[in-house]
Chains A and B, each alone.
Chain A
Amino acid sequence: MLKYDKYDIESPEPFLVFEFKSEGPKGVISKQVRFEMIPGLDNVFNLGFGDLKSSGEINDIVVTDNNDGEKVLATVASAIFMFFDSHPESMVHIEGSTPARIRLYQMRIARHLAEVRDEFHVVGYTNGSWHPFERGINFSAFLVSKRNN
């Protein structure tokens, strides 16, 4: 995890909201990562991720294309690590806001699968049920929890 280039990210305790700035050809774009507990489901959090607009709004659908996608995803991953360090018994639900973003998340998990499996259990949702993450299966959402080695 530490070997990937990533942005510094700010968060107050209890580490549910994180913010950082993406820098690239489109300028400096503030981004937010948020873990929101799903009502009625203890310790299951939904991951939100989007751009902070100057108007104060957050856009979680926009594709910024600031030529730093890998760095942004590595930064989001560092927020996930920090979240799990402070909420080790929790589970995080991840769903892309578009089919393209779901594919992107799936490809990134697959690319770093060995490292991910060292730290986390990852299951994907397909055909109405949850299955351990495998390459080559199209999932529509993911659940991640920290391994209790």
Chain B
Amino acid sequence: MEKYTKSGVKIPEGVIVVEALPQREKSMLDAPFFQEKMRNATERLKKTGVPKMEDLFPKP
């Protein structure tokens, strides 16, 4: 039987909705490569613009 959150989002099998995750001293934002990936993504997408999927995948 399919399960949904209170806001109506379908919960896939294996996903457990919790009130909160354990508090941690550090987050992904402090991970070695995460900020670099954020910078790379920002630079790429500001240079190219966010691609329009409807242009790249036109409907037949």
**Measured CA separation A60–B13 after assembly (Å):** 26
**Measured CA separation A17–B11 after assembly (Å):** 15
- Residues of B with C-beta under 8 A to A39: 42
**Measured CA separation A37–B12 after assembly (Å):** 23
- Residues of A with C-beta under 8 A to B42: 38-41
A56 proximal to B (CB < 8 A): yes
- Tally of A interface residues using CB under 8 Å: 55
Which B residue sits closest to A145, measured CB to CB? B53
- Residues of B with C-beta under 8 A to A6: 14
- Tally of B interface residues using CB under 8 Å: 41
Question: Is B38 within 8 A of A46, CB to CB?
Answer: yes
Question: Is A12 within 8 A of B41, CB to CB?
Answer: no
If A12-B19, A38-B42, A95-B40 touch, whether A50 touches B28 (CB-CB below 8 Å) is: yes
Q: Which of B15, B29, B48 contacts A129 (CB 8 A)?
A: B48
- Residues of A with C-beta under 8 A to B31: 48, 50, 57-60
Question: Is B44 within 8 A of A97, CB to CB?
Answer: no
New contact pairs (11) apart from A36-B38, A141-B41, CB-CB < 8 Å: A10-B15, A12-B20, A13-B17, A36-B28, A38-B41, A46-B41, A58-B27, A85-B10, A86-B7, A130-B56, A145-B53
